[in-house]
Amino acid sequence: MSSKSTLKGGSLALSIGAHLLVVAALLLGLWEWQAPPPPLQRLAIEATIVDPRSVQGLTGPQLPEPQPVAPEPELPPQPTPTPPVEPPAPKPDQRIAQEKSQREQAEKAEQARKTKAAADKIASEKAVREKAAQEKAVKDKAAKEKTAKEQAEKAARDKADKERKDKADREKALHDKALAEEKAEAERQKAVRESELRARLAVEEQQLAAQAAAQAAARNSAAMAQYQEQIRARIERAWIRPASARTGLRCEVRITQVPGGEVVGVKVGTCNGDESVRQSIEAAAYRASPLPLPPDQALFDRNLVVTFRPQD
């Protein structure tokens, strides 16, 4: 509180002193303006007029008569500068009092200057602090706005990501469900097909078993023996005997045929003939195609085994 009071007192004294100086300057100017100018002083000039004719013989040849010279215009009187008025010398007591007053005024002026400098410094520091505070407030506001904007953008991104994820999850769930249903339907259809296939296989196996039994019975019958004898005779008729064939030739011939008796494969198995004999028998089997048809379709066999034994 004391420092604030001192500052206020010094500012008040400085203000009063400044006002007094301004008033004194105004009074001095007014006094000089109203003071009457000093009277003009005229200077007296003494001169003697001489007639040139009276001195003609003395001066030599006569000079032309001088033309009258126009008198110079009289200049307006110039004001005489007012000498500075010196204040009367103060008395010793007054001089001491005046010096004391001047010192006090100087001290007050210095104190006022210091006070004003301190006040200016305080005001400058305050202005700097206020400017810094304003800049900080602006930065803080910008930072908050930036943070709020970033948070809003992040929230929007998170929301969009969640929506995309939820959509993808729903689509995946629907896809998985469709796949599961499709798989279940495929398995059901597979089971139905397998069941139907097993049923058909069972029927076919029964038919094949019955056919095999019939074929076995037929092969063991006289009709089968007669059918194989016809095939052997057809091959022997088509055989061209090679020079290396010997008496007592006996070879096992495996023949593969298709319905209609066409021969599609021949292989000579056990045989007591040489290679030329084997090749001649294979050629005879192909030439004998088509083979005779069996009297009963049950006697037909794709793979026949015929014993080739030509008569000597």
The tens digit of pLDDT for each residue in 250-296 reads: 999 999 999 888 999 999 999 998 999 999 999 999 999 999 988 88
Closest among 289, 227, 3 to 122, alpha carbons compared: 3
Residue 57 has pLDDT above 50, yes or no: no
pLDDT mean over 81-103: 73
What average pLDDT does the chain have?
79
Q: At 141, is the pLDDT very low, low, confident or very high (cuts 50, 70, 90)?
A: very high
Instruction: Give the pLDDT band (50/70/90) at residue 71.
Output: low
- 121-134 per-position pLDDT tens digit: 999 999 999 999 99
- Which of the four CATH numbers 3.30.1150.10, 2.60.40.10, 3.90.1150.10, 3.30.420.40 does domain 222-308 have? 3.30.1150.10
89 vs 210, residue with greater confidence: 210
Stretch 193-220: mean pLDDT: 78
pLDDT, residue 297, reads 81
- pLDDT at residue number 31: 57
Reading the block at residue 279, the tokens are 């090749």
91 pLDDT higher than 80: no
Q: Is the pLDDT of residue 51 over 80?
A: no
Q: What is the pLDDT of residue 80?
A: 64
The DSSP annotation for the chain comes to -HHHHHHHHHHHHHHHHHHHHHHHHHHHHHHHHHSPPPPP-PPP-------GGGGHHHHSSPPPPPPPPPPPPPPPPPPPPPPPPPPPPPPHHHHHHHHHHHHHHHHHHHHHHHHHHHHHHHHHHHHHHHHHHHHHHHHHHHHHHHHHHHHHHHHHHHHHHHHHHHHHHHHHHHHHHHHHHHHHHHHHHHHHHHHHHHHHHHHHHHHHHHHHHHHHHHHTSHHHHHHHHHHHHHHHHH----TT--TT--EEEEEEEETTTEEEEEEEEEESS-HHHHHHHHHHHHHTPSPPPPSSGGG--SEEEEEE----
Domain ranges of the chain: 100-220, 222-308
| CA–CA dist 187, 293 (Å, integer) | 47
pLDDT digits (tens, 9 = 90+) for 233-260: 999 999 999 988 888 899 999 999 998 8
pLDDT of 225 higher than 50 = yes
pLDDT value for 276: 93
Percent of the chain with pLDDT over 90: 40
Provide the pLDDT for residue 246: 86
pLDDT at 58 over 90: no
Cα 120 from Cα 128, distance rounded (Å):
12
Q: Which of 51-60, 169-178, 262-271 has the lowest mean pLDDT?
A: 51-60
Q: 3 vs 147, which has greater pLDDT?
A: 147
